[in-house]
Chain A
Amino acid sequence: MWQSILFNLIQVAVVVGLAPLVEGVLHRMEENVQSKRGPNIFQVYRDLWKLLQKDEIVSEESSWIFRVAPYVAFVMPIFVTLLIPVLTRYPLFFAFMGDMLAAGFLLALGGFFMALAAVDAANPYGAMGASRTRMVGFLAEPVFMMVFFTVSFTAGSTIPYIVQTSWTAVPGGFFEPVHILVILAFLMLILADESRIPVDNPSGQFELAMIGKSKYLEYSGRGAALIKWAGCMKFMVLTCVLCNVLVTPWGLAAEHTLVAVLLAIPLVLFKTLIFLLVLVVIESSLAKLRLFRISEFLSAAFVICLLAMVTRLMGS
């Protein structure tokens, strides 16, 4: 049991510690694709360090929500990390505390507090960004539920550790249409939820066009650092769900030894790198959608997921 708890803590440490690195690599790759040199891959750590050194300025008009929100947003991805497979293919100590639905709701809770905080600061851009994020969130919700249902139908369970093994249980199961379609739908979901390119421009600096970023405009110092860090972790958590739960459990530790778990870290990072490559290709080949066309993007994801369910339930 103690070993199980230890492995769980290692998982959390990996996510907390390496999430900024993943973000840094992504930035670097994006710039490289655009024929620029790009920032150092450790630049995110430096930013975080710099922000933590600075004073925090909080508006007198704002309430406690504004102060609490960064902590909530920071803690939620850590909770989720306890539930999902990051390094191992066998369930760890906290694995049965919650299923994929719980993970989704925990992440949504962080987002909810951020939206409240954005409105709380009374910056007009914040409220605008919050309402847009909510709009995307409402449209993404049915897709998330469909992914969840499809996966649970296929695997007969909603615990991520059990789901991940179901794809490799039968030979050729990897190529089942349901698997491919669910992966595709979830990828589109990540793009929407993480405010990435066809939905939002993460590197845009124009407040009027922002969807995700405008919520954090009022934060400074420690609050800004926590939010930035939380964003990195959330991204890494979703990447892990996609790579480890939905795609395959390949590369994860199968044995209950510390060495195996530690060896899994570079393999997982490698898988993440491949995912980042895909993401960079998507982001540099697509243009940002107009706001009212986001609904088309997400309804496409919904229909893809529905198709996955149909082919699964009726096809075999």
Chain B
Amino acid sequence: MDVGAIFQAAFALVVGLDPGFLGIVFLSLRVTLTAVLIAALIGLPLGAALALARFPGRAAIIVCLNALMGLPPVVAGLAVFLLLSRSGPLGPLGLLFTPTAMIIAQVILVLPIVIALTRQVIEDLWSEYRDHLRSVGLDGLRAIPTLLFDGRFALATALLAGFGRASAEVGAVLIVGGNIAGYTRTMTTAITLETSKGDLPLALGLGLVLLSLTLAINAIAFGASRIGARYAG
């Protein structure tokens, strides 16, 4: 097959809404969106608390979180694999090679990003708002809801950064999901497999969807910061 024919076949897959193809796309989105949602629920308040709290060891935690933003996905995958494997501490739950396992692994990848970026955003906002919020009696943890709300546009960008990392990674979902067709096969694991098998149209079609997704994320991030700039003056 020449490159032109491969592209043609790939487009046919995308446009033709092939059920197997769509299943892979939807599973990827389900896993990644769930992981980002969970990471947001945990990471936003935790990052804000970290921004406001002062305690010994805080600097070390911030350095570790920043380092974890670059955690190799295969290492995260390996850690979750060890946890969930039959002989591991959570083995009896029988979660290995399920979408749930993939969600857990991606939460671990996304959470440091959400916490670290939230910490930064909220700390900057707090230094600007501190006098007024303390003046009206919102000190310490009581200031967090206000800060999270007022940082909403910057925080949306942080969540999209997390989404971008999770949707693009292959190592973690491959190790804990097992790339089982129709069950734990995501866009990235499918591209890896199909490319090595030689089914280039499928790999390329999925690659196109992934690319469009990345493009959409960046467009949304740009839009959010523009709307934010309107409110930020």
A binds B: no
Contact residues of A with B, CB < 8 Å? none
Contact residues of B with A, CB < 8 Å? none
